[in-house]
């Protein structure tokens, strides 16, 4: 009995222990902190990283939200809290070059330490107190903790300020976030939470837009709120600002806005937005989505500003990547002069600085290398051809199917380098444009990059893929010898001419589907049906004696048939020859049949006069809708401009039910 009880307790203990052990990928980030002399230092415990075979060493990147309006992107930051009421610190860690899931975030409350720190005038963003967001010189700036990944979370810091150049002691106005590009059919983001720390009040952007554009042609200011003592004039946007704001709003399906007040000169404020990326987000890991921020001051002396983020959808978090802007192209509008813009990002994740970086990009054969233009680089350097000795520069040279951008005599710090706290300083990119040699085939355009830091092994990026939108190509088709028609189930093999329409993807290069629909064919026929006729037979009609001289049965049919090709697969061997196979369906939408007996009668009166009489008698009428569906199979070949333009086709049609077959011809024209 004792052994049995021990066994039961042991099983219960093991079950409880297993229930408490979570899978390694679901272990949340554990936050540790210690406060000394009013400065709180943070560290964390995260699950061990798991390297991906062939990839660089995995590492974490960090985003800390301190719960009082401050933040940091450092691994182990320090912070001075200005208050301790309801403070919740959050750590969002992103695993790079790791095959597991991102550690979940578990907020940690921070209580007042035994020694009350001296309040600071504003939150410190890092240990050195330097701002870590505003680097572009404007009143607004945004930054995310990672690139979006379908089904994952993403944090966005929205910073706004009243810089000294504005010349205003205080500002009131509106800030707005615009997301979910209308160019994509599905929403990419859901705004799960937005945390504000300076009494920003939620507002509606739509009424602001309506008010701002009500007097578009007027230069007079538009007021919808009382003027403050600081002479902030609400929404007196210039005509150019009005158009720009309206265009920005039209480009996105989702938006959120807040009213702010009393933004002091040189004061910086931050809003923290927690976005959930939807599973419906484009799975194309080369697609670029946008998020736009707006800073709309009430004072007309301060300009409205926008800040646009371009975010590449990723399958895994990788700081070295290649992206093609506007990767979905309209093939109708694509020609020799079409320019594509590529951007290759890189980051030095090592322990020391990189002095030379070779970015090698393979060039697809559809491009003209002589049209390549460098748009921008980071670090920003001159061309080596015009550089003096040992000056930082970039050399560009081509090989058979690639181009190399070589940064020379630069200093790009490493993420693991001692004293490097700003991850942005370890990153760089090269952006370039290139044109087609001629109108390319409608096939995916693939490019990839290999990045070499100094003499280390190359790091291979993702493949940036440019794809063409399907597009629709309507067309006309004129055929001779089809479609099939019926009469009482018997095929009428008429050599008729029929007019129809086609629908297919625009200018498909190889395989594609095609639909065909032919206009209704209406057939009305009257024909004699053989019957046994008894002539010279006597009959009485209306008390008058007649003799039947002739008796015939006629049948009239009216059939309206619609023909369609709902299933057809085609293949273009090249631009002049195409083949296809599919099924032709004929449906009798309307079928009416009637019968009529036609008599020739003879009668003779008392005086012996003979009279012949014609008499018709209608029989039963039968009317049916959708009375019959017939399916035939075909194969054909086209000669001509089979992708877009006119072509001549030969089509063999076979009906397995009746063994009816024929060879038909047609002319088609795709637009």
DSSP lists the bridge partners of residue 178 as 255, 292
pLDDT surpassing 80 at residue 2: no
- Looking at residue 130, what is its pLDDT? 43
Tens of pLDDT, residues 512-527: 999 999 876 666 677 7
Please provide the average confidence, as pLDDT, over all residues in the chain. Answer: 82
| Model pLDDT, residue 242 | 63
10 Å CB burial of residue 178 (0-12, 13-18, 19+) is buried
pLDDT at position 324 over 50: yes
Write down the pLDDT at residue 214. 39
Lowest-confidence region among 169-183, 366-380, 609-623: 609-623
pLDDT value of residue 114: 60
Q: Is the previous residue joined to 483 through a cis bond, with omega within 30 degrees of 0? A: yes
Euclidean distance between CA atoms 398 and 401, whole angstroms: 8
Three-state SS string over 636-669 comes to EEEEECCCCEEEEEEEEEEECCCCEEEEEEEEEE
Rounded to 5 degrees, φ, ψ at 335 are -145, -165
pLDDT at 223 over 70: no
| Block residue for tokens 């219960």 | 12
Note the pTM of the prediction, 2 decimals.
Answer: 0.71
Highest mean pLDDT among 83-87, 172-176, 210-214, 248-252: 172-176
Query: Which segment of 84-98, 159-173, 203-217 scores lowest on mean pLDDT?
Result: 203-217
Q: Is the pLDDT of residue 377 over 70?
A: yes
State how far the Cα of 497 lies from the Cα of 291, in Å rounded to an integer: 56
Residues 206, 209: Cα–Cα separation, whole Å: 5
pLDDT at 233: 38
Q: What average pLDDT does the segment 179-208 reach? A: 88
Write the DSSP symbol of residue 244.
Answer: H
533 confidence band (pLDDT: 50, 70, 90): low
Gap between the Cα atoms of 251 and 324, Å rounded:
20
Sign of CA dihedral 32, 36, 40, 43: negative
Q: How far is CA 402 from CA 211, 338, 374, in A?
A: 53, 20, 15
| pLDDT, average across residues 132-154 | 88
The pLDDT score that the predictor gives to residue 123 is 41
Range 534-569 burial, b when 16+ CB lie within 10 A, else e:
eeeeeeeeeeeebebeebeeebebebbbbbbbeebe
Strands laid side by side in the 252-264 sheet? 201-203, 252-264, 170-181, 288-297, 305-312
Task: Give the span between the Cα atoms of 467 and 283, in whole angstroms.
Answer: 13
The answer to which of 292-306, 390-404, 483-497, 562-576 has the lowest mean pLDDT is 483-497
Q: Which residues make Cβ contacts (< 8 Å) with residue 424, sequence separation at least 6?
A: 135
For the residues 1-23, what does the mean pLDDT come to?
45
Asked whether the predicted pLDDT for residue 359 surpasses 90, the reply is: yes
pLDDT at residue 40, rounded to an integer:
93
- Position 216 scores a pLDDT of 36
Q: How confident is the model at residue 228 (pLDDT cuts 50, 70, 90)?
A: very low
Greater pLDDT, 380 or 114: 380
> Tell me: the pLDDT tens digits for 54-85?
778 888 999 999 999 999 999 999 999 888 88
Mean of the pLDDT values across residues 466-474?
Answer: 92
DSSP one-letter code for 116:
P
Q: What is the DSSP string of 43-90?
A: EEE-PPP-BPTTSPPPEEEEEEE-SSS-EE-SSS-EE--S--TTEEEE
- pLDDT score recorded for residue 376: 94
Beta bridge partners, 33, equal 42
C-alpha span between 357 and 320 (Å, rounded): 12
- Residues in the chain, overall count: 671
- Exposed/middle/buried for 144, CB within 10 Å: 0-12, 13-18, 19+? middle
């Amino acid at each position: 009995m004792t052994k049995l009880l021990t066994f039961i307790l042991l099983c219960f203990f093991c079950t409880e222990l297993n229930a408490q052990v979570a899978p390694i990928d679901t272990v949340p980030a554990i936050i540790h902190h210690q406060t000394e002399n009013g400065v709180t230092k943070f560290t964390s415990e995260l699950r061990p990283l798991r390297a991906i075979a062939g990839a660089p060493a995995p590492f974490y990147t960090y985003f800390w939200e301190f719960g009082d309006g401050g933040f940091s992107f450092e691994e182990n930051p320090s912070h001075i809290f200005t208050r301790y009421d309801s403070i919740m610190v959050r750590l969002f860690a992103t695993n790079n070059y790791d095959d597991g899931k991102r550690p979940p975030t578990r907020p940690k409350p921070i209580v007042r330490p035994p020694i009350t720190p001296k309040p600071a005038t504003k939150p410190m963003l890092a240990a050195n107190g330097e701002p870590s967001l505003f680097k572009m010189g404007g009143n607004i700036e945004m930054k995310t903790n990672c690139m979006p990944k379908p089904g994952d979370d993403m944090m966005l810091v929205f910073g706004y300020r009243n810089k000294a150049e504005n010349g205003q002691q205080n500002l009131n106005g509106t800030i707005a976030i615009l997301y979910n590009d209308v160019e994509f059919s599905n929403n990419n983001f859901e705004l799960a939470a937005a945390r504000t720390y300076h009494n920003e009040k939620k507002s509606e952007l739509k009424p602001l837009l309506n008010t701002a554009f009500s007097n578009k042609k007027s230069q007079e200011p538009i007021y919808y709120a009382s003027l403050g003592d600081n002479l902030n004039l609400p929404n007196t946007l210039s005509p150019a600002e009005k158009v720009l704001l309206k265009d920005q709003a039209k480009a996105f399906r989702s938006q959120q806005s807040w009213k702010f007040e009393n933004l002091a000169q040189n004061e910086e404020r931050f809003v923290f937005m927690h976005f959930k990326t939807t599973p419906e987000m484009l799975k194309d890991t080369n697609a670029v989505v946008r998020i736009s921020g707006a800073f709309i001051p009430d004072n007309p002396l301060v300009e409205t500003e926008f800040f646009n983020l371009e975010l590449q959808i990723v399958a895994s978090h990788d700081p070295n990547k290649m992206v093609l802007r506007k990767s979905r192209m309209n093939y109708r509008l694509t020609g020799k002069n079409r320019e594509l813009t590529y951007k290759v990002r890189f980051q030095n994740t090592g322990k020391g600085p990189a002095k030379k970086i070779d970015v090698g990009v393979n060039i697809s054969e559809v491009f003209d290398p002589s049209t390549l233009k460098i748009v921008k680089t980071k670090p920003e350097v001159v061309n080596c051809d015009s550089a003096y000795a040992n000056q930082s520069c970039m050399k560009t040279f081509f090989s058979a199917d690639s181009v190399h951008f070589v940064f020379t005599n630069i200093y790009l710090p490493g993420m693991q380098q001692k004293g490097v706290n700003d991850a942005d300083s370890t990153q760089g990119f090269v952006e370039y444009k290139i044109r087609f040699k001629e109108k390319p085939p409608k096939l995916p355009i693939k490019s990839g990059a290999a990045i070499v830091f100094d003499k280390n092994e190359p790091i291979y990026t993702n493949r940036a893929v440019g794809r063409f939108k399907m597009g629709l190509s309507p067309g006309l088709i004129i055929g001779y010898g089809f479609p099939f028609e019926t009469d009482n189930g018997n095929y009428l093999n008429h050599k008729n001419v029929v007019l129809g329409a086609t629908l297919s993807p625009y200018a498909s290069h190889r395989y594609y589907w095609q639909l065909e629909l032919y206009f209704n064919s209406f057939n009305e026929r009257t024909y004699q049906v053989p019957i046994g006729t008894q002539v010279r037979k006597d009959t009485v009609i209306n008390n008058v004696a007649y003799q039947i001289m002739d008796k015939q049965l006629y049948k009239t049919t009216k059939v309206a048939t619609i023909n369609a090709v709902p299933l057809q697969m085609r293949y273009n061997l090249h631009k002049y020859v195409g083949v296809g196979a599919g099924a032709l369906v004929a449906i009798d939408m309307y079928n009416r049949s009637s019968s009529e007996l036609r008599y020739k009668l003879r009668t003779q009166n008392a005086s012996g006069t003979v009279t012949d009489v014609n008499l018709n008698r209608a029989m039963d009428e039968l009317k049916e809708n959708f009375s019959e569906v017939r399916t035939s199979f075909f194969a054909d070949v086209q000669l001509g401009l089979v992708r877009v333009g006119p072509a001549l086709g030969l089509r063999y049609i076979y009906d397995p039910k009746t063994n009816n077959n024929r060879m038909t011809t047609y002319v088609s024209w795709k637009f």
